[in-house]
Chains A and B, each alone.
Chain A
């Protein structure tokens, strides 16, 4: 019978094309608007490091102003000072650890027609790639000496390799960064975590960096940061670049991989001892405080999905409800117009429940068509949002299959909600009235 009801539904939709189009449009606009917001919220609230959520930790140390707590959710600076990062790198407790920050270089290639361009870079220790499961197309990370010595090597993402070397295996080839030659040691395959969990301080929804260079290059290139470097002890920054490196400015993101609770406990003991040692030397004057946050906690602490987005999600659902109420009125008009036919069907043996199901399936058919149209509306909405955000939400402004299915599901639910009362009304009309007067 379901197939029969579906065929009746499609026939009914064809018989009243304008009314049907209005209902589909009401559902499509409501679902499209809701799915635009819900998709962005869903994509923003994803955890790209979910598979390593129980072993990765973002490290925070409270080296902040003794007179004023830092203005973060847990009152500990998001980032570390350079000197603390260097000290932590010396620990052999974590399975892997990475100190890093964002920077940028001018990229050139000798003997090439490539026009110089500015590219964002991640200055990082070598464990970055293994710690965040970055896939390599060619080669691999640099050796550990490069994180301490000045070794001019670079890892290129596939997109940069395509641009600079036309996609060929560039291992061992040279690329010029800020006028200095760098040797390519690895090319990574497509990798673009969204949100960019490893660095939420620099636009969590922007693309991953275009270059990766070793953490040992700071002094040679006087690398500072393309990001936040706030500090509370402004005095030391005036002592030149070395002063900056030794200052209380926080600008280094730090992650560790700890395989189990025991290792985590060891590392916490190590951090406690480190802070106590620094306290003895006059630093870390606030009460001893540090934090190790899993990626999921890190996303929550950083409020990647802001309250505004949540409110917007509810507003979009309220708009969908308005569309559903419109759908109720349109469906009621459509179904009551067909009351004589319902009367005939009752006379021929249809029960009230059979008529109810038949009309509910007609509502569902409108929902499915409205859902498909809603996906198109949502794709347009997401594309527009992406355009308006000018690159800030590029990695999350897309709709995956799950959200497309969710759009159909939402449209189905909305249409069934809209169709429930009209279907009930038509199934409970007195058939005798229409049989005599039709």
Chain B
């Protein structure tokens, strides 16, 4: 599903060049649930941005679903992002002025679905996350857990094959976090590949595989069951 080979990402100022990722190679198979851990500043978010086609890499090859995306232009990357990738963020990132229905509608608009198709998909995902009755509410009228469920619904509405989650439970209490995690596991069971960045070792252990990133490089690729205490941020 995702294959990165010798990815390098560096940020340059007038005087200094910082390497966020270097010789970064990784493969995530279709249907996997992978957690990504590592200390702050290790390059987790940079990896996620490159994987989500939000930023291009400085060097290296990135294959998404078998397609080399390293040299695509902005329009092609946006199209691919819309069609194949779903995002879930720590801060939910719902658009505050739009009600829940319209928030979920955003990626579907960019996909070009007609009104009937969009409505069908929105109603379906709202039902899946158990918030159909709140469709016309604004995000501010929901709890954090509910907002994250809507964010997941929005990510799922386009039926992406690849879900990128950046600290999806970071702003939630333990009960809400567990509910969101169960929802992600449910989504994964239905075949969606998930890569989840987290600082929480317990959540990381619930993935099928954990990847540790240190100083912009992958340092542990073993399945979670073979890792002992290594899964700690």
Identify the A interface with B (CB < 8 A).
Answer: 1, 4, 11-12, 15, 340-341, 343-354, 430-432, 435-438
- Contacting pair B106 A438 (CB below 8 A): no
- Contacting pair B97 A347 (CB below 8 A): no
- Contacting pair B93 A350 (CB below 8 A): no
Which residue in A343, A344, A349, A352 is a CB contact (below 8 Å) of B82?
A349
Known contacts A11-B97, A431-B54, A438-B91: A348-B107 contact under CB 8 Å: yes
Bound-state Cα–Cα, A436 to B170, Å: 12
Bound-state Cα–Cα, A241 to B75, Å: 87
| B90 neighbours in A (Cβ, 8 Å) | 436
Which residues of chain B from 40 to 67 have any CB-CB distance to chain A below 8 Å in the complex?
A: 45, 49, 52, 54-55
- Contacting pair B97 A15 (CB below 8 A): yes
**CB closest chain-B residue, reference A431:** B54
Q: Give the size range of B's interface with the partner.
A: 20 to 34
What's the minimum C-beta distance from B20 to chain A, rounded to whole angstroms? 11
- Contacting pair A344 B93 (CB below 8 A): yes
| B82 neighbours in A (Cβ, 8 Å) | 348-350
| A346 neighbours in B (Cβ, 8 Å) | 54, 78
A-B contact pairs, 26 of them (CB 8 A): A1-B109, A4-B109, A11-B98, A344-B93, A344-B94, A345-B106, A347-B54, A347-B81, A347-B87, A347-B93, A348-B87, A348-B154, A349-B82, A349-B158, A350-B78, A351-B74, A351-B79, A352-B78, A354-B78, A430-B54, A435-B87, A435-B89, A436-B90, A436-B166, A438-B89, A438-B91
B111 is an interface residue with CB less than 8 A from chain A: yes
What's the minimum C-beta distance from B216 to chain A, rounded to whole angstroms? 16
| A340 neighbours in B (Cβ, 8 Å) | 93
- Contacting pair A430 B97 (CB below 8 A): no
Known contacts A345-B106, A349-B79: A430-B87 contact under CB 8 Å: no
What's the minimum C-beta distance from A7 to chain B, rounded to whole angstroms? 9
- Contacting pair B89 A351 (CB below 8 A): no
Bound-state Cα–Cα, A352 to B74, Å: 7
Bound-state Cα–Cα, A382 to B97, Å: 41
Which residues of chain B from 101 to 118 have any CB-CB distance to chain A below 8 Å in the complex?
A: 106-107, 109-111
